[in-house]
Amino acid sequence: MPSLGADMEEGTLIEWSVKPGDRVKRGDIVGVVRTEKADIEVEVYRDGVVEQLLAKAGDTLPVGAVLAVIREEGEAAAPAHEEIPPAPATVAPTPSVARVRASPLARRVAQELGVDLSGVQGTGPHGELTEIDVQRAAAALKKAPTEKPVVPEPRAGIRRAIAAAMARSNREIPHYYLETKIDLQRALKFLEAENQKRSVKDRLLSVVLLIKAVARTLHDVPELNAYWIDDQLQPKEAVHIGFAISLRQGGLVVPAIMDADRKNLDELMQALRDLITRARAGRLRSSEITDGTVTITNLGDLGVETVHGVIYPPQVALIGFGRVIESPWAENGMLGIRPVVSATLAGDHRATDGHRGAQFLTALNQHLQEPEKL
């Protein structure tokens, strides 16, 4: 059972989309898991052949429990599993691995708590086990379910899941907040000209420019595109931007737009459209939930002027955008009216300081003043 959120403790298998003997490759969807927030399509992270399906539809299992065994090419067949083992700390939908990658702290904590590392799924770089993974597995060990005939509705727990994640963030992360006002006149004129050339179905939303500008700026200030794990800043090479999407039923999910920095505006718009549509239909992929490296929340549509967001651990930054407002704007000694947006940065003070955060917002502004380069 993969961990699909900072405070996810268990999930319910809704269905398998593979059967024993099926060949799978990295990124393939093998099943659907229901969490407290949504139904998530679970991907595999290695190539191989499905050897055994250990969980059945309707089973609710703790994070870390084995759902299936996937044999890699050339790997000897595993001994047959009769049933799901009662202890949940065993590897997930990904195939078992011979060598466990774990931080020294994770190993020490595992020893103290009696957790078998070979059965825990790592969420660190390259699947490395972290202290948090071990703590989570230890907590799950205490909560192994005995009978689960009913598949719970994800919406019922969505508020509780958000509450747990945000409480943890506020408890563990010393946030600092910075705000700047950005003149969007050039960006919006560029967008207007672009959209005039397009049919309605190919039009771009202004938030796409903001996402691309943030992705670009993260190359200027890479410390904000990172995780804070085991008391260390771990910069991430890929820029996977989590985008907060509100659900009509209430609550929100934050799936990631993968490799946002490498996408052009049309590709970003397509990715955003796909993500929002699937998020609202409850068909997100597990990697989209787990792999975000930074988050953007845009509350401008709701009329909010300024957003002071809460960082999603283990990320270290969240960028918020408010409503675009026509405001008096002085430039070169002249006063005019400009479309202005408030951009905020919520930063993890363990990872960066306000000086670096200010450089991020300055660079973000500069990128938005040159929209044709986005």
Partner 1 sequence: MSEPEIKAAVFKILRKIAPEADFDQIRPEENLREALDIDSFDFLNFMIALHEELAVEIPEADYRKLSTLRELTRYLSDRLK
Binding stretches for partner 1 (CB under 8 A): 192, 195-196, 199-201, 203, 205-207, 246, 248, 272-273, 276, 301-302
What does the H/E/C string look like for 146-212? Answer: CCCCCCCCHHHHHHHHHHHHHHHHHHHCCEEEEEEEEECHHHHHHHHHHHHCCCHHHCCCHHHHHHH
Supply the minimum distance, in Å, between the C-beta of residue 196 and partner 1: 7
Supply the minimum distance, in Å, between the C-beta of residue 301 and partner 1: 4
Q: Based on CB atoms, which residue is closest to partner 1, 192 or 370?
A: 192
Supply the minimum distance, in Å, between the C-beta of residue 223 and partner 1: 31
Supply the minimum distance, in Å, between the C-beta of residue 195 and partner 1: 5
Supply the minimum distance, in Å, between the C-beta of residue 205 and partner 1: 5
Q: Based on CB atoms, which residue is closest to partner 1, 192 or 331?
A: 192
Tokens of 129: 């086990």
Q: Based on CB atoms, which residue is closest to partner 1, 118 or 195?
A: 195
Supply the minimum distance, in Å, between the C-beta of residue 302 and partner 1: 8
The phi, psi pair for 214, rounded to 5°, reads: -65, -45
Q: Based on CB atoms, which residue is closest to partner 1, 206 or 287?
A: 206
Q: Based on CB atoms, which residue is closest to partner 1, 1 or 244?
A: 244
The closest alpha carbon to 236, from 207, 260, 265, 253, belongs to: 260
Q: Based on CB atoms, which residue is closest to partner 1, 70 or 204?
A: 204
Packing angle of the helix pair 206-220, 354-368 (nearest 10 deg): 130
How deeply is 235 buried, as exposed, middle or buried, from its count of CB atoms within 10 A (0-12, 13-18, 19+)?
Answer: middle
Q: Based on CB atoms, which residue is closest to partner 1, 112 or 301?
A: 301
Packing angle of the helix pair 104-113, 131-141 (nearest 10 deg): 20
What number of CA atoms fall less than 13 Å from residue 238's CA on the CB side? 13
Supply the minimum distance, in Å, between the C-beta of residue 276 and partner 1: 5
CB within 8 Å of 126: residues ≥ 6 apart: 101
230, 233, 236, 237: CA torsion to nearest 10: -130
